[in-house]
Amino acid sequence: MNKTVPPDDLDFDEEGPLYVARKKVYPQKVSGTFRRIKWGLMAFCLGVYYLLPFVRWHRGLGAPDQAVLIDFPNRRFYFFFIELWPQEVYYFTGLLILAALTLFLMNALGGRIWCGYLCPQTVWTDLFYAVERWTEGDRRERIKADAAPMTAARLGRRALKHFIWLMIAWWTGGAWVLYFSDAPTLVKDLATFQAPAVAYIWIGILTATTYVLAGHMREQVCVYMCPWPRIQAALTDEWALNVTYKYDRGEPRCSVKKAVDLRAHGEKVGDCIDCNQCVAVCPTGIDIRDGAQLGCIQCGLCIDACDSVMKKVGRPDRLIGYDNDINVQRRIAGKKEIFKPVRARTIVYAGVIAVVCSVMLYALLTRSLLDLNVLHDRNPVAVRLSDGSIRNGYTLRFLNKRGFDRVVAVDIDGPPGAKIHVIGADSAIPDRPMIVLGRDSTTEMRVLVTVPFNEKADKTVPIKFRVTDVGLGEATSATDHFVVP
């Protein structure tokens, strides 16, 4: 068998492997403006996630009083004063559209704002890093400890770290299931081992995923698993602000002492002193000075680290900052910086968001809390009675979304002489049966419509069923067809 030999001028060994083994990242503690923003957002996001199930909202007698609740047994979603039914799934569709458009707008304005500050992976990883620093020390201590033999003291600190991680992960999973049942009751049932098995199963699944993703995989989730960096790269444009190393000001790099000597001789020297603090604080371990990269979540911590170094060496801050390559090139050419937060892309995103919000708000404010669905009998479609009249059968499903019982009247608009009979309804008023609808429920009734025989009548005639709340005057209708055999 002949073997194919690569040309001599191709050295595959120099290309390197397609996959490089992971190098452990040891982010260093940093303080500054963006670190404070991240602490504040972390506290807000975690506070909302963990405490929101315990917030109460009174909805009336017999209704759940949990402010945010996904009630699967009763097929309801409660969000403070909003109650959504399965038939209103289009509201969730609208929320998904808004979420996508908001991400697009964030990206057009400030790059991966979501990734750096609000993404659950970022929030929980930040929290796990804080626990790691508290138990095992900062960057240098952890690197030194990992290079040294294991000791009892180090083993104890590591065990404490993993215990706290597991407790955080456990409460993360526990908080999630509280959104699907009454939180105080479920907490009591979980503590006394009387909760449903599915609750323990989901707590176990979410505990494991939180512990693994935030404690062990960390930046690998952002680099390898998350699709948003790839999508963001396709959506960004030249005007979007991203965390940028301003190489026009930072290059060429040299130490502080050497920079003093070079400046004394009138040579050009950059502000970057090659201290690598921007690399040391990066949670994904990249070097921002290498330009835009997939691994950069744009959290701004390198900005804080660089600013602190610039302050110490007496140079202006924001050598690393939110900027774009257009302004870098303009500064090199001696031109003034230009920022364009308002441009065609952002106007379109903001406009579509406004339209979707307006449509959803209008639909929510004007939606009817009384609904009606009509299903025509299929076999037989129509029946001819002994007196020659024609009868069609229907199933009417009434939907009462209010938290109290109410009485409704049923009327029809259709063929001349049509008479309606609702089986099981109050027939005290001729041709206008009354039905009692239970609170927050659906009611099905069998309805018969009879029409005198008419040789000239069309084979199919539209018929409208109207339902009116006799107390509130609220009304709704549904249209079907009356069939003549």
d(CA 218, CA 314): 35
Same domain for 431 and 381: yes
The reported pTM is 0.82
d(CA 246, CA 253): 12
Q: Specify the CATH number for the domain of residue 411.
A: 2.60.40.10
In-domain check, residue 10: no
In-domain check, residue 129: yes
d(CA 15, CA 18): 9
Give the Å distances, CA to CA, from 260 to 235, 263, 319.
43, 5, 18
Which one, of 361, 363, 417, lies nearest residue 88 by Cα? 363
In-domain check, residue 155: yes
* Domain extent at residue 445: 370-483
Q: How many domains does one find in the chain?
A: 3
d(CA 398, CA 410): 11
pLDDT digits (tens, 9 = 90+) for 67-85: 999 988 888 899 998 888 8
Residue at 443: amino acid letter: T
Same domain for 116 and 260: no
Which one, of 431, 433, 429, lies nearest residue 409 by Cα? 433
DSSP 281: T
pLDDT digits (tens, 9 = 90+) for 387-420: 888 999 999 999 988 888 888 988 888 888 888 8
pLDDT digits (tens, 9 = 90+) for 133-184: 999 999 999 999 988 898 999 999 999 999 999 999 999 999 999 999 999 9
pLDDT digits (tens, 9 = 90+) for 39-63: 999 999 999 999 999 999 988 777 8
Beta bridge partners of 392: 449
CB atoms within 10 A of CB 271: 18
Task: Give every CB contact of residue 392 below 8 A, 6+ residues apart in sequence.
Answer: 376, 377, 381, 382, 383, 448, 449, 451, 482, 483
Same domain for 79 and 170: yes
Beta bridge partners of 83: 78
